[in-house]
């Protein structure tokens, strides 16, 4: 962004009574690069700039909506979501910002528009019903029916997108795969229905342990093994192992009885981690994923 253009944009945003911030999405962390005083007042902090988009939104409206917003940004979509902050209602409008000659947005603007009056309430209710239906249709195609995590096809799409972004920045991503120990023996004892229930509870434990709204988890098949994979956007070689161990401990603490396990009396998982700087060498995102599935 040229200095003059940035200066004009800053003045326009700062002069708005509407809370606004802009995030840079061609960077792995999606950092907030601009915010105005109106937004800082609802965020309760003047240190929003530089923080990841997902973290800022999660701190304001919770993880579920932050996950929804992360999916919107990844898909390059524009959307509006009704949210409550304290005693006030807002319509959060997310809009990709395109520059001339560039079909891929490099920034996203978030407008927090106050709502008032019965007409606005009715309009918002209709809009939310439509958005809910749209999300449900999308989820049916993206989510694994058993675990509720992303299915393999959708996960590979997310990984390809995030890999391309990280490659431009020479940034790192982390993958962790979890394999349920002796799970074929569990199926033999309890049957497929109980095994699906077990998988669902394990997946819920994985999701609860995700550190950031931009992290994603999926169910991926690998040589007839049940495998859950997590893509992390805040990787550090020293921290990924601890992160994986925390998830493994949470799964064991579910206390799911496994009479034929060679590891424990309960359902446990083994894990494999890898941290990779995207864009280094000839490695692809598929090879990166294969490295934790082999």
DSSP bridge partners of 219: 228
Rounded Cα distance between 153 and 17, Å, is 43
What CATH architecture does domain 3-141 belong to? 2-Layer Sandwich (3.30)
| 136 or 236, greater pLDDT | 236
Residue 72 confidence (pLDDT): 81
Lowest mean pLDDT among 116-130, 166-180, 198-212, 247-261: 116-130
In sequence order, the 6+-apart residues with CB closer than 8 A to the CB of 105 are: 25, 76, 96, 97, 98
Give, to the nearest 10 degrees, the angle between helix 63-75 and helix 152-169: 70
Candidate from 119-123, 167-171, 221-225 with smallest mean pLDDT: 119-123
Give yes or no for residue 1 having a pLDDT over 60. Answer: no
Confidence band for 19, pLDDT divided at 50, 70 and 90: confident
Query: Model pTM?
Result: 0.71
DSSP code per residue over 221-272 = EETTEEEEEEEESS--HHHHHHHHHHHHHHHHTT--B-TT-SS-SB--EEEE
85 and 91 Cβ atoms separated by less than 8 Å: no
Of residues 229 and 225, the one with the higher pLDDT is 229
Q: What is the pLDDT of residue 117?
A: 44
For residues 94 and 73, give the distance between their C-alpha atoms in angstroms, rounded to a whole number: 8
Give yes or no for residue 196 having a pLDDT over 70: yes
Neighbour-count burial for 204-231, b at 16+ CB within 10 Å, e otherwise: bbbbebbebbbbbbbbbebeeebbbbbb
The CATH superfamily holding the domain 152-293 is Reverse transcriptase/Diguanylate cyclase domain (3.30.70.270)
Q: What share of the chain is helix, strand, coil (3-state, %, to 5)?
A: 45, 25, 30
* Res 3: pLDDT: 47
CA–CA separation, 282 and 268 (whole Å): 35
Residues of the chain with CATH 3.30.450.20: 3-141
More confident residue, 97 or 236: 97
Which pLDDT belongs to residue 52? 86
Task: Indicate whether 48 pLDDT > 90.
Answer: no
| Main-chain dihedrals φ then ψ at residue 42, nearest 5 degrees | -80, -25
pLDDT band at residue 258 under the 50/70/90 scheme = very high
Residues of the chain with CATH 3.30.70.270: 152-293
Position 116 pLDDT exceeds 80: no
The one-character DSSP state at 104 is: S
**Phi-psi category of residue 148: left, alpha or beta, with phi > 0 → left and psi -120 to 50 → alpha:** left
Instruction: Give the whole-angstrom CA distance, residue 268 versus residue 238.
Output: 23
Are 162 and 71 within 8 A, CB to CB? no
> Tell me, what DSSP letter sits at residue 30?
-
Winning range, highest mean pLDDT, from 33-42, 162-171, 192-201: 192-201
64: three-class secondary structure by DSSP: helix
Weakest mean pLDDT among 57-71, 167-181, 209-223: 57-71
- Tell me the average pLDDT across 11-30: 79
- Mean pLDDT score across all residues of the chain: 81
Please state whether beta strands 88-97 and 79-85 pair in parallel, antiparallel, or not at all (unpaired). Answer: antiparallel
Residue 181 clears pLDDT 90, i.e. is over it: yes
Q: Are 209 and 250 in contact (CB under 8 A)?
A: yes
Q: What is the mean pLDDT of residues 187-201?
A: 94
Separation CA 294–CA 289 (nearest Å)? 9
Residues near 123 by beta carbon (within 8 Å), at least 6 away in sequence: none
pLDDT at 17: 79
Helix (H) or strand (E) holding 4: helix 3-14
Query: Rounded to an integer, what distance in angstroms lies between the CA atom of residue 234 and that of residue 236?
Result: 7
């Amino acid at each position: 962004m040229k200095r003059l253009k940035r200066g004009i944009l800053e003045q326009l945003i700062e002069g708005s009574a509407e809370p606004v911030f802009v995030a840079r999405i061609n960077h792995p962390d999606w950092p907030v690069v601009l915010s105005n005083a109106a937004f800082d007042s609802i965020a309760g902090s003047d240190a929003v700039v530089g923080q990841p988009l997902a973290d800022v939104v999660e701190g304001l409206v919770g993880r579920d909506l932050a996950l929804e917003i992360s999916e919107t940004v990844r898909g390059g979509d524009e959307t509006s979501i009704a949210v409550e902050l304290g005693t006030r209602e807002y319509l959060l409008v997310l809009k990709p910002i395109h520059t001339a000659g560039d079909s891929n947005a490099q920034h996203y603007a978030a407008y927090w528009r106050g709502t008032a009056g019965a007409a606005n309430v009715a309009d918002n209710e209709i809009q939310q019903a439509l958005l809910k239906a749209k999300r449900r249709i999308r989820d049916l195609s993206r989510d694994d029916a058993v675990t509720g995590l992303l299915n393999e096809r959708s996960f590979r799409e997310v990984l390809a997108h995030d890999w391309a972004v990280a490659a431009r920045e020479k940034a790192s991503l982390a993958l962790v795969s979890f394999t349920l120990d002796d799970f074929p023996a569990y199926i033999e004892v309890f049957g497929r229905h109980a095994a699906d229930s077990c998988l669902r509870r394990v997946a819920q434990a994985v999701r609860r342990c995700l550190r950031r709204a931009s992290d994603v988890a999926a169910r991926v098949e690998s040589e007839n093994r049940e495998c859950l994979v997590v893509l992390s956007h805040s990787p550090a070689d020293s921290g990924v192992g601890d992160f994986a161990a925390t998830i493994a401990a949470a799964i064991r603490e579910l206390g799911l009885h496994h009479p034929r396990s060679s590891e424990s009396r309960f359902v446990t998982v083994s894990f494999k981690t890898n941290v990779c700087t995207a864009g280094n060498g000839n490695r692809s995102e598929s090879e990166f994923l294969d490295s934790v599935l082999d």
